[in-house]
Each structure stands twice: as structure tokens, then as C-alpha cells.
Structure 1
């Protein structure tokens, strides 16, 4: 197989592992395992904890001691074991620790796959800017394929989804040891602070950057909410005869996969929007899209309201990609080469680390606030849940963030780099 083909297989499996459980696990935990909303939110918050701690730490190891492709394999083999264990447990405490350890070893692999890809392409004289995106897009394809596989097999509300993910992680773990070698760059003098993005903390002395990173954290709290509760929400309609046999209930994960399809389309639209509106306006468009993402969930249903749900899936691509990519570009434009990599790491930590932790626990508290529970045969079960109020509160949160961002974040000539 060609180098490109091998990297495509790696990216496909990398995101297949994630897609097999990320969207459907909330429905399994809330339905089959009867976890409360706060418990589900706490388990998804482990993604933020892992994002905060592990990418920098594992990056140091890959930079100094172990080939990146071997470290990638080790991480996935450990993750496979954690996922297999998670598939056997039914208590909240056991699931929490299983998923926490799994994510501690999974989240660093997102950057390790990029490192392996860049190194292999460079060594084989490929143009990274031109040749990597068509390879990376197969990761999104793998994510979508995993979602469809879990849905069509009926695994979405059972522990079998974790078996699928664990099997893919085991395969990728073994396959990683066959990838092109990516040895440590021993000549690179990378400090501990730099690896964790902490030497970029000096940016907080600048008001504009401090405001930007604060809003990055606040918006980061919204990024995984629909991943945590989207399937649980759609599956709740099965108890209503009018919707029980609808496509949105029977194939809720496939419906949710439209969000990932939308991502691939809006990524291609970003250059146009940046040239036309500039970075600040694109970030505001993202925040507005989050309002619609949540609001349409609150107003939609799998029956006559299905078009509203589909529209919510479509705007997700704009909501998710526009902030992440335009925000990354803003950081690139506003920092010096000496701390550029660290600044990107800080942006990741604020959104996917602190923001995700805050969002996981806060969203769980909101879900529990609008839920009624009862103990049946010693097991906590949901009696009722006001999903419309839950989603509209999330929409109001995104709206407030957008309004405040427009008022306090002062930035002109946001499209300068793109135009040049």
C-alpha cells in the first residue's frame, strides 16, 4: 500500500474508534444503565480533563524518547483494554474511571496521528498543505461510518458499541507499529511549559487576547453538549406512540451523523466567509449557529418537526468549525513565532479542556434540574424530562455569549491575513 493509503487507513480507524461511542454512549448510559443527567455530563467531562492534561505530556514523550507511531500504538492498545472493560460495567463509578482512563490515552492520539502523517509526507517529498487535507477527511468518513455501523446493527443502546470501538482500537494499535517511523526530534529544545501551552500565558496580559481566551472557554462548554445528550433526547420519543416508529427514533444516530457530514462542507466554505466577513464576524456567525443548533433541538421532534432537527444538524457544521478554525487563525495572527505553538495549545486547553469540563458538569446539572427521577427496585429511573426547556436554556446561554462577545471583543481587519 502507498504511503498515502496507509495514512488514510490510520486516520479512518483513528476516528472510527471515537465515532463508535461518542454520539451514542449518552443514550446507552441514560437508557439502558439509567444514569442521571449529571452522571452522564460528568463522564463526558472526562474528555476535558484528558484534553487538559495528556496531549502536552505525551507530546514530550514523543519529542524525546519514543517514536510517535509506537506511542500511538501503545495508546490505542491501552484504550482498547479500557473500552473492553467499560463494556462490562454497569455502575457509574466503574464507567467513569474506565472512560477517564480511555480518554487519557485517546485524546493525545489526535495530535500523534497528525505528527505521524506530517512526518511521513515530508519524508516522501509530498506537499503537506496540499496532500494532508484529503487524507484527514477520511477521519471524518471513519467517524460517520462508525456511527452508521452502530446504528444499523442496533448497538447504539447496548454495550456492543464499546466492543466495536475496542476492536477498532485494537486493530489500529497493532497497525500503528507498521506505520512509517517517526523518531523523536532530539534536537528540538522544547520546554515543559511550551509543551503544555503554558508559556503562552503571557498573552493574558493583552486585554484582547484575555477576552478571546475567556470566550473560548465559555463557548467550549457548549461544544460537546449535543454529543452527550443528542441521542438520549431523540430516543426519549420512543415512549410517545406518535413517534415510536419514526426514522428519527429508530435511526437517531444516523440522523445525528448529518452533523458530521455538515462539518466537511462548512470546512470548505470557511475561506469564503473569512474573505467576506473577517474573523470576528465569522466567530459571531458560529455563536449564532449554536443558538440555532440548540433552539431547533428544543422546537423539533421526529415527526412533523423533523425538518427542524435536520436543520439543526446542518448548522452544527457552521457552529463547530467556524469557531474552532477561525479562532485558531486568530491565535496564529496575534502571536509571535516563538510562542505560536504554545498559543495554539492554550487555545485547545481553553476550549476542549477547561471549557469541556465546565460544560460537562453544568449541562448535567441543567438536565437534572428539569428531570424527575424515581427509585424502582433499587434503581434510579427517569420519570419525566423537560427536554424543550433544557435545549432552550442552552440556546439562551449561546445567545448571551454571542451578544457579550460582540460588545466586548474589539477586533478590526480580521480578514487581513486571508486577503493577503
Structure 2
């Protein structure tokens, strides 16, 4: 989307940052409310279907917009529909697994395969001009297909739903009680802050690779998804061996190395640094965000798992990504020589520094015991 906005709609760095901020704003507003509604009043599957069906229509309309400011407002509408599905997809999956969380990584890997198909398709099958123009139409059609497909998912309601006193206040079945755990509170705060560097990666990497002359940038970025697929499958092994704390620490160390490689890499002699940085994506993402989903599901009670997943989504793709999108747009603008030239080495130092601070604080204050967490996740 960053490349689309900069080349087709001629958006500035601040406008691109604002565009990524729309998803973050929506993630702050909608997922927790939708999560509680799905826990209490409506089937999560029905909610998931409705949101993707409506979102698909909005995406198709977005492909016809020619003004970046109008684009951003319509993007906010789509984001309000899409953001809750991030948490709902996790809740639906865990409900289907019925306590067998060890199967989650093997299922989650198919989401990664979807990313790979999308990235390769953009470069290899559609052509750069066609792919930029039709990006949102393709995404809209995919969203509608997903909505139709989800109708046929098995009905796996949360067992605890029947035991909820439906006259009790919503707050009693909310996920806020999780903050009684110091470790979960530290994890929640770290999730919000580590999403700031994630926003830099999402909003700037494709633009960065294209600008410095890397060919077939979208295809090369799919190597990160191949890496993600491998590390997802490896999560149960490392969780048993290291525990949740040191898995998350390893993920954050990978973020620091990734941005350092981006700072020193180029499309010529040091192109290997760019490839290595992309290949670190699996370690960066899986060992923090996917493992974090499993940790959250294990810590939550059955009746508030939808809300708990929504709350973590709000921390990461909401608060963290919103701050990160604004900051990445500002840093990009401050290091712009002209429309097509940036001081990328200085840009990538910022998310690396943020990750170092989060890492130090997390290691200091997160005290979860390895055996306890492994038992909770039932590996």
C-alpha cells in the first residue's frame, strides 16, 4: 500500500503514515467491543462472516478512489470492519481446537501461505502497473470469498457460553481481570511498544526495497513468509525448551538485527543483508505475536477469550501500530531528500532503538515461569 500511495496517488510520507494509522485507530476502537459482543450476543462465526462481506465491498470501492485524503477516510471505514476479524480468527480457531492448542501452529501456517501467494502473484503474474491499480479489487474479491467460505465452517461455540449469566454486567465477563497478573500486564505493554517497529516494517519496507533498486520486491518479501511458516511449526518445540519469556526475547533480538541489516544493506554487494533481514521475519513475528496469541488464550477464561484476543489486538495493531504509523511517517519525512530518495540508514535506526528499550524492560520485569506457561498452553 505504501508503494501504491506514493506512486499512484502521489502521497507524502506523512500521508502514507496516516494511511497506516487508520488501521491502528480502528483497531483501538472496534475489536474489544466486537470481542465482547461475540462472547455474549452473537456467534463469532456469524460476526466474522458479516464483517468480511461488508469489508470486501469497501475494498472494491477503494480501487476507484484517486485522491489520497479521500482514500484514507474510506480506508478507515474498511479498517473498522476488518480490525475485529484479527481477534475473531484466533478465537474461532482455538474454539475449533477444543483445548488442543499444540495444533494451532500447524493451522496458522496456512495464513502464511496466503501471504506468499499474494506476494508472488503481485510480481510474477499481474505485472507492476496492473497490480498497483487492481490491488484493492483483488483484496475485496478475496474478502468476499472468505466470507462465503466461513459460512460453511463447523459450528464450534465456546462451551462456557452456556454457563454465563446473561444478566450480569459485561465487565464481569471482560478480559480486564487478566491485568491482575503482573506477567500479563508486562506482556501487554511490551506488545503495544513492539508494534511500533512492526509498523515501520509494514509501512516502509516495500517502498524501501523498490527505491534502492531491488527487483521483484514483493516476491522477495515473501521469503519472510516462508520463514514464518517454518518458525510457526517450530513454536511448540521452542516453547517447551525455552518458555514464553525467552521465546519473546529471541523475537525482539531478531527485530534489532533485522533493522541493523536494513541500515547497512543495499541492492549490490550487500544485498545478502536485505535477504537475511527478510528471512528473519519468521523469528520476529512468530516468536512474539503468534506465541503471544497462544499465551493470551491460555491465560484467559473460556468465557472471555474473544475479548482477551481483541484486547491484545488493540494493544498491537491498535495502540502500537498507530504510534508507529505516525512516527514512521514523521521519520520518513525528516529523512527525505526528494520524493524518491530517502536516508534509509537513519530511518531504520529508529525502530531498532525502540526495540532495544522494550527488550531491556521486558527482560527485567516479565517473570513467567517456563513450566507453568507450557502447562497452561497444554503442550
Specify which of 55, 59, 73 is matched with residue 31 of structure 2.
55
Equivalence map 1:267-286=2 (5 Å): 267-286=232-251
Specify which of 261, 268, 288 is matched with residue 253 of structure 2.
288
Distance change in 2, residues 1:103/1:212 (3 Å): same
Offset, 1:107: 2.3
**Could you list the runs of 4 or more consecutive aligned residues of structure 1 that deviate by over 6 angstroms after TM superposition?**
332-341
The answer as to 2:54 corresponding to 1:89 is no
Which structure has more helix as a fraction of its residues? 2
Unmatched segments (≥5 aa) in structure 1: 1-24, 239-247, 374-381
Specify which of 164, 169, 184 is matched with residue 143 of structure 2.
169
User: In structure 1, what is the Cα distance between the partners aligned to 2:322 and 2:188?
Assistant: 15
TM-score (norm 1): 0.77
Specify which of 156, 161, 171 is matched with residue 193 of structure 1.
171
Offset, 1:121: 6.8
Specify which of 323, 332, 339 is matched with residue 358 of structure 1.
323
Aligned to 1:214: 189
User: In structure 2, what is the Cα distance between the partners aligned to 1:139 and 1:51?
Assistant: 20
Higher relative contact order structure (alpha carbons within 8 Å, sequence separation ≥ 6): 2
User: In structure 1, what is the Cα distance between the partners aligned to 2:40 and 2:310?
Assistant: 18
Offset, 1:110: 3.3
Distance change in 2, residues 1:289/1:135 (3 Å): closer
Distance change in 2, residues 1:293/1:170 (3 Å): same
Specify which of 101, 104, 114 is matched with residue 142 of structure 1.
114
Give 3-state SS (helix, strand or coil) of 1:224's partner. helix
Confirm or deny: 8 A CA contact 1:41 1:361 kept in the other structure: yes
Aligned to 1:414: 370
Confirm or deny: 8 A CA contact 1:67 1:182 kept in the other structure: no
User: In structure 1, what is the Cα distance between the partners aligned to 2:188 and 2:38?
Assistant: 28
Bigger Rg, structure 1 or 2: 1
User: In structure 2, what is the Cα distance between the partners aligned to 1:410 and 1:172?
Assistant: 38
TM-score (norm 2): 0.84
Equivalence map 1:108-257=2 (5 Å): 108-116=84-92, 129=101, 133-152=105-124, 153-155=126-128, 158-181=132-155, 185=161, 188-189=164-165, 191-193=169-171, 197-203=175-181, 206=182, 209-238=184-213, 248-249=214-215, 251-257=216-222
Offset, 1:346: 3.3
Distance change in 2, residues 1:412/1:60 (3 Å): closer
Distance change in 2, residues 1:177/1:328 (3 Å): closer
Offset, 1:63: 4.2
Distance change in 2, residues 1:231/1:410 (3 Å): closer
Confirm or deny: 8 A CA contact 2:293 2:309 kept in the other structure: yes
Distance change in 2, residues 1:334/1:411 (3 Å): farther
Q: CA RMSD in A?
A: 3.2
Distance change in 2, residues 1:285/1:182 (3 Å): closer
Q: For each residue in 1:211-242, what CA deviation from the matched residue of structure 2 results, as whole angstroms up to 9, or x when unmatched? A: 4432221112122321211111111124xxxx
Specify which of 242, 247, 266 is matched with residue 301 of structure 1.
266
Aligned to 2:223: 258
Give 3-state SS (helix, strand or coil) of 2:280's partner. helix
User: In structure 2, what is the Cα distance between the partners aligned to 1:48 and 1:166?
Assistant: 20
Unmatched segments (≥5 aa) in structure 2: none
Aligned to 1:102: 78
User: In structure 2, what is the Cα distance between the partners aligned to 1:317 and 1:36?
Assistant: 30
Distance change in 2, residues 1:286/1:337 (3 Å): same
Give 3-state SS (helix, strand or coil) of 1:169's partner. helix
